[in-house]
């Protein structure tokens, strides 16, 4: 697809203020299509002067005020008629940062079929009523598209591919007023046009001109959402089929997929909706709104459903007869999905400061304090079991600054961004890595040398494509575990503990166990030593999974049985042999 862009500006009574915007946009050397939407005489005269003075400006005039959407559509049609492939819409109210034009153009050149949509980063000038009102629109848009593809549907700074946008507005009665930005974007997503969200600064100038009418435009936006929800329901079978089949047109395979491949889907499991509902309506309403969102991902997440069922089946077969393990039915799998979504809400609540220290039971807290203040440092190995983020939030907000969380975040930008938005302290002592190489080990060793604590999870193999795994028996079957935590513990030469936080009713219980005073990996027996440490960790994880069967959140084929990595070391014996129980 060719890439020949121009700029489209809808203008209504913005007067001399548009001069400065055009001056800034001239630097990019792009034709500027200004559509005068029936402005008053003063603005019309200003625009005439501007068009006569600036060779890049092409002025179009509507005989009467028809609305922002009508002006934008007129500009898009004119741009395509003039031979342009893309049009960068930017509102005339001077709220948008024209310095970001280059970023929009670069994104469009890289993905010419996509809509490049601005995602506002607001400063203190934003009116709070307008800000909170946008969250409600976000929720409706996510429902209307059955996705979280659109980061912000109301931002008037976006790059349209004209080859798909103009035919759409020629065939469909898209809203002509303020709700145009919402309407057109949802309809483009319905047609399979990808949306790329680009963060951009938005400022509300003190002398800025806004034509947004709080009553009339909100009423129109509500009407647009009603129309779009109806349209979504009519398209529901097609939209669901597209989600299930996937972009490549093939149905979900049962072939093992590495957990990092689930990044985009896992990161948007209703968490955007949770964050909005939690801020505006509180926890109880957020829990209510979880149900339809979780239902959608349950229905469309075939791989995740299969993985959950396999885990529950193996847990039930392996567990002690008196363990309360629910059967691996569709209902239980749905409850597993719901528990995962609720854990996201709990993390959000913790970073909002809505989880108090008295809600946390920590029977072995004395051992934790001994490790924290011994001056030797320590490594805590956890899992995607329960909610360790609760403890990190309480540690950071409570001033326990010696605890560092070592995390993979490349696959979960949206979720991480949501938590970061909940508290400006989210990034405190957060050590983000993509793989455990020498540089990472050196940096973490410096933390230990300062007597600080490190927390890492031990139940996911590295995102990097390598063989740094060790096979351990888990729930009666061989499964790959990462070598990284145990190799790191060996290099750090510090005490190692196992660390889990499980939700029990409305409270949280922290479990801390001493794992090793030092992890030792003799050169000649390195692999067998790694296998031994991994097996001890797997036995402990099994025991805690029996305590909280629906709180282990690995919605992928953990065992990777069809891959070449699932081989059983001789040190593990028969893979289906049930060993002695872990003492808890």
In a domain, 54, yes or no: yes
Please give the C-alpha separations between residue 231 and each of 152, 187, 235, 243, in angstroms, as whole numbers. Answer: 20, 9, 6, 17
- For 373-423, write each residue's pLDDT tens digit: 888 899 999 999 998 877 777 776 665 557 777 766 444 444 444 444 444
Residues facing residue 478 across a β-bridge: 473
Q: Is residue 262 part of a domain?
A: yes
Q: What pLDDT is stored for residue 263 in this prediction?
A: 39
User: Which has the minimum average pLDDT: 105-109, 437-441, 469-473?
Assistant: 437-441
| pLDDT of amino acid 265 | 41
Is 38 within the bounds of a domain? yes
Query: How many other C-beta atoms are found inside a 10 Å radius of the C-beta of residue 103?
Result: 15
> 142 falls in which pLDDT band (50, 70, 90)?
confident
Q: Quick one: 224 and 282 in the same domain?
A: no
Classify 103 as helix, strand or coil: helix
Do 517 and 491 lie in one domain? The reply is yes
Residues 292-308 have a mean pLDDT of 84
Give me the CATH number covering residue 82: 3.90.550.10
- 230 and 257 both lie in a single domain: no
In 3D space, the residue among 340, 339, 336, 333 whose CA is nearest the CA of residue 309 turns out to be: 333
277 lies in the same domain as 230: no
- Poorest-pLDDT segment among 7-21, 238-252, 471-485: 238-252
pLDDT of residue 255: 40
Please tell me the predicted confidence (pLDDT) of residue 513: 93
- pLDDT value, residue 416: 44
Q: What is the DSSP string of 408-426?
A: E-TT-HHHHHHHHHH-TTT
Residues 342-351 have pLDDT tens digits of: 888 888 777 7
Q: How confident is the model at residue 38 (pLDDT cuts 50, 70, 90)?
A: confident
Q: Which residue has the higher pLDDT, 15 or 532?
A: 532
Instruction: Mark which of 203, 235, 267 sits at the end of a domain.
Output: 235
Is the pLDDT assigned to residue 248 strictly greater than 60? no
pLDDT digits (tens, 9 = 90+) for 357-374: 788 898 988 888 888 888
Could you give the CA distance from residue 296 to residue 276 in angstroms, rounded to a whole number?
18
Residue 408 forms part of a structural domain: yes
Q: For the purposes of burial, counting CB atoms within 10 Å of the CB of 238, is it exposed (0-12), middle (13-18) or buried (19 or more)?
A: exposed
Specify the pLDDT at position 413. 45
Compute the average pLDDT of residues 432-458.
78
Check whether residue 305 and residue 397 sit in a common domain. yes
- Is 306 found in the same domain as 395? yes
Please check whether residues 272 and 231 belong to one and the same domain.
no
Residue 244 lies in a domain: no
pLDDT attached to residue 581:
42
Q: In terms of Cα–Cα distance, which of 499, 299, 474 is closest to 387?
A: 499
Compute the average pLDDT of residues 8-36.
88
Instruction: Please say whether the beta carbons of 382 and 235 come within 8 A.
Output: no
204 or 145, greater pLDDT: 145
User: Is 508 within a domain?
Assistant: yes
| 78 domain residue, yes or no | yes
User: 492-534 pLDDT, tens per residue?
Assistant: 999 999 999 999 988 899 999 999 999 999 988 999 999 999 9
- 266 and 411 belong to one structural domain: yes
Domain membership flag for residue 241: no
Residue 299 and residue 181 in one domain: no
Predicted confidence at residue 453, as pLDDT, reads: 86
What confidence score (pLDDT) does residue 502 get? 94
Average pLDDT over residues 544-553: 95
Say how many domains are in the chain: 2
Q: How confident is the model at residue 468 (pLDDT cuts 50, 70, 90)?
A: confident
Domain extent for 47: 5-235
- pLDDT tens digit sequence for 151-169: 888 888 999 999 999 999 9
What is the reported pLDDT for 313? 95
What is the rounded average pLDDT of the residues 552-581? Answer: 55
Res. 491: pLDDT tops 60 = yes
What is the signed CA dihedral for 288, 289, 290, 293, rounded to 10 degrees? 140
**Most confident segment among 92-101, 424-433, 488-497:** 488-497
pLDDT of residue 131: 55
Q: Is the pLDDT of residue 550 over 80?
A: yes
Mean pLDDT of the chain, nearest integer: 80
Residue 446 shares a structural domain with residue 574: yes
> Contacts by 292-297 with C-beta closer than 8 Å and gap 24+?
292/143, 293/269, 293/341, 294/269, 294/270, 294/334, 294/337, 294/338, 294/341, 295/334, 296/146, 297/265, 297/269, 297/270, 297/337
What's the confidence (pLDDT) of residue 211?
53
Residue pLDDT, tens place only, 199-239? 888 887 666 555 555 556 667 788 888 899 898 888 887 77
Of 179, 200, 235, which residue is a domain's last?
235
Q: What is the pLDDT of residue 357?
A: 77
Q: With 90 as the cut, is the pLDDT of residue 186 above it?
A: yes
pLDDT for position 80: 95
Assess whether pLDDT exceeds 70 at residue 426: no
Percent residues over pLDDT 70 in the chain: 77
Question: Residues 220, 298: one domain?
Answer: no
Final residue in a domain of this structure, among 178, 210, 235:
235
Do 443 and 368 belong to one domain? Answer: yes
- DSSP code, position 97: -
**Which band of pLDDT confidence, cut at 50, 70 and 90, is reported for residue 556?**
confident
Model confidence band, residue 262 (pLDDT cutoffs 50, 70, 90): very low
For 12, the token pair is 């209504």
pLDDT of residue 584: 42
């Amino acid at each position: 697809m060719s890439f020949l862009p121009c700029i489209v500006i809808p203008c209504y009574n913005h007067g001399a203020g548009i001069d400065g915007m055009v001056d800034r946009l001239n630097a990019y050397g792009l034709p500027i299509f200004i559509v005068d939407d029936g402005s008053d005489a003063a603005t019309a005269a200003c625009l005439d002067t501007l068009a006569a003075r600036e060779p890049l400006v092409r002025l179009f005039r509507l005989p009467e005020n028809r609305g922002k959407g009508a002006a934008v559509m007129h500009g898009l049609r004119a741009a395509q008629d003039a031979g342009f492939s893309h049009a960068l819409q930017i509102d005339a109210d001077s709220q948008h940062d024209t310095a970001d034009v280059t970023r929009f153009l670069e994104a469009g050149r890289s993905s010419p079929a996509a809509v490049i949509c601005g995602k506002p980063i607001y400063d203190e000038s934003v009116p709070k009523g307008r800000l909170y009102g946008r969250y409600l629109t976000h929720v409706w848009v996510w429902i209307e598209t059955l996705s979280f593809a659109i980061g912000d549907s109301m931002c008037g700074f976006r790059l349209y591919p004209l080859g798909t946008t103009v035919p759409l507005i020629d065939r469909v009665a898209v809203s002509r007023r303020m709700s145009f930005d919402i309407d057109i974007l949802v309809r483009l997503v319905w047609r399979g046009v990808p949306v790329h969200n680009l963060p951009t600064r938005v400022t509300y100038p003190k002398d800025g001109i806004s034509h947004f009418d709080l009553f009339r435009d909100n009423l129109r936006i509500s009407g647009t959402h009603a129309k779009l929800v109806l349209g979504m329901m009519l398209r529901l079978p097609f939209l669901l089929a597209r989600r299930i089949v996937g972009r490549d047109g093939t149905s979900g395979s049962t072939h093992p997929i590495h957990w990092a491949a689930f990044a985009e889907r896992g990161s948007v499991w209703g968490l955007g909706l949770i964050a909005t509902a939690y801020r505006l309506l509180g926890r109880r309403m957020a829990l209510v709104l979880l149900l339809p969102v979780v239902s959608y991902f349950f229905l469309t997440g075939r791989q995740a459903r299969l993985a959950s069922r396999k885990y529950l089946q193996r847990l039930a077969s392996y567990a002690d007869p008196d363990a309360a393990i629910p059967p691996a039915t569709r209902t239980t799998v749905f409850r597993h999905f719901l528990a995962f979504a609720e854990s996201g809400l709990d993390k959000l609540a913790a970073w909002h400061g809505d989880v108090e220290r008295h809600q946390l039971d920590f029977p072995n807290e004395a051992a934790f304090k001994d490790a924290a203040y011994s001056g030797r440092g320590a490594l805590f190995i956890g899992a995607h079991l329960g909610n360790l983020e609760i403890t990190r939030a309480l540690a950071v907000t409570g001033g326990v600054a010696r605890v560092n969380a070592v995390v993979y975040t490349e696959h979960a930008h949206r979720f991480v961004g949501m938590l970061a938005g909940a508290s400006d302290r989210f990034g405190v002592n957060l050590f983000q890595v993509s793989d455990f190489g020498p540089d990472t080990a050196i940096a973490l060793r410096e933390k230990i040398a300062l007597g600080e604590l490190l927390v890492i999870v031990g139940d996911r193999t590295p995102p990097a494509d390598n063989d740094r795994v060790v096979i351990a028996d888990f729930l009666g079957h061989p499964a790959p575990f990462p070598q990284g935590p145990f190799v790191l513990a060996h290099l750090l030469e510090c005490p190692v503990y196992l660390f889990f936080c499980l939700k029990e009713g409305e409270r949280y219980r922290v479990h801390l166990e001493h794992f090793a005073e030092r992890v030792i990996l003799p050169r000649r027996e390195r692999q067998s030593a790694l296998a031994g440490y991994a097996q001890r960790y797997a036995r402990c994880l099994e025991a805690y999974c029996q305590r909280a069967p629906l709180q282990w959140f690995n919605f992928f084929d953990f065992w990777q049985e069809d891959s070449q990595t699932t081989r059983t070391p001789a040190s593990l014996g028969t893979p289906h042999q049930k060993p002695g129980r872990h003492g808890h």
